[in-house]
Amino acid sequence: MRREVGMSVALVFMCLGLWLSNPDFLGHSNAINTLRQISMLGIFAIGIGFVIVTGGIDLSIGSMVGLTGVIIAKLSSPAAGCMGYSLWVGIPVALGVAMTLGLCQGLLITRLKLQPFIVTLGGMLLFRGMSQTISEGGTLSLGGSSLLSLANEGLLHVDGEPLLPYPLLLFLLVIALAGYVLHFTVYGRYVYAIGGNRDAAEYSGIQVRTVETSTYVISAGLAGVAGVCYAAYIGQMSQQVGVAYELYAIAAAVLGGCSLRGGEGTVIGIVIGSAIMRVIDNGINMFQLPYVDQEGVNRIWRLNPNWTFVIIGAVILVAVVLDQVVHIVQSKRRIRRAANPEPTVGGNGVAPNPDPAPE
């Protein structure tokens, strides 16, 4: 948990610095909106965390988020050009499509032994094309749909804003279920074993291909759940929704301690990583510094929003570099310990003589 504690401290200092620069950062409205954003990102970041722990990657989850929302809008929106079915039809169908597509990707990777990067890259483009075809290159409105209350409503209202928005409650449920499955079940141990040493896991009797395939289904399913939340939050869907979301999710997982080599990572770490990514995104708009120019006029300096992807890209690179440095340091420590093993201490507290003299 050392890395998680360090990232938590960094998150606290980031929030403190943003609050000192702009007190509105912790204002009720901005805080609740940031919680929504963290929750929606965290839901599918946890999904990709399962894949990354096994040593895989899923570049299609951003497009899956968008496709799920487009399907829901097409099936259940009361707007013109949509089918107007009940949400009890639209949401299960959309989630079913997402999990089926995730299963197909997992089978291509595990049964045909294709590279996850290539398969999910193709899936990313395919799913985005499906969204564009369904929406006919335009936008599908969800205006008037009861789904919109999912993002805007919640529990314990204060000044018209819920203290616990529904996306946050859904996120907490996902954290509890994913944390239990990954850290307290045999399946979770199998996931870590595959990421740590795939060959050893297979020789030990683990159904490696089945477990690995299931992680892609979990990733796609949670991306679908996030897609439902985004559809409710945005209120209209197009093929542009979900673009580059996979980069945020991967960055959140890596920041939270998931190694791209596999075998490492925790759910709580991914949660912290998701919070950091959204705080950075929000902080770029909220950060400000007052100053006095040469003419004695009070002005405020703000970060340029065009730097958003520059900053996020730098954060991803720093996270990957730190991950590599940690592995190098750990590898050198293991080598030193193997070369200089500590002497075994006997019951009387004295190390035994390794070469006793013959009697």
DSSP 8-state class, residue 23: G
* 128 inside domain: yes
- Token pair of 273 as six digits: 């990583």
- What domain range includes position 237? 2-339
* 97 inside domain: yes
DSSP 8-state class, residue 155: E
R_g of the chain computed on alpha carbons:
24
For 198-227, the pLDDT digits (tens) are 999 999 999 999 999 999 999 999 999 999
* 353 inside domain: no
The domain tally of the chain equals: 1
Q: Are 58 and 108 in contact (CB under 8 A)?
A: no
Distance between CA atoms of residues 340 and 355, nearest Å: 17
CATH number at residue 11: 1.10.3470
Distance between CA atoms of residues 24 and 34, nearest Å: 12
Q: Where are the beta strands (DSSP E) in 230-287?
A: 236-237
pLDDT tens per residue, the chain (359 residues)?
677 787 888 889 989 988 888 888 888 888 888 999 999 999 999 999 999 999 999 999 999 999 999 999 999 888 777 887 888 999 999 999 999 999 999 999 999 999 999 999 999 999 999 999 998 888 888 877 788 888 778 887 777 777 888 999 999 999 999 999 999 999 999 999 999 899 999 999 999 999 999 999 999 999 999 999 999 998 888 888 888 899 889 989 988 888 888 888 899 999 999 999 999 888 888 888 877 777 776 777 787 778 878 887 887 788 778 777 877 887 788 888 887 776 665 555 555 555 555 54
| Torsions phi, psi for 267 (to 5 deg) | -65, -45
* 183 inside domain: yes
* 73 inside domain: yes
Angstrom CA distances, 306 to 25, 88, 280, 303, 312, stand at 20, 40, 14, 9, 11
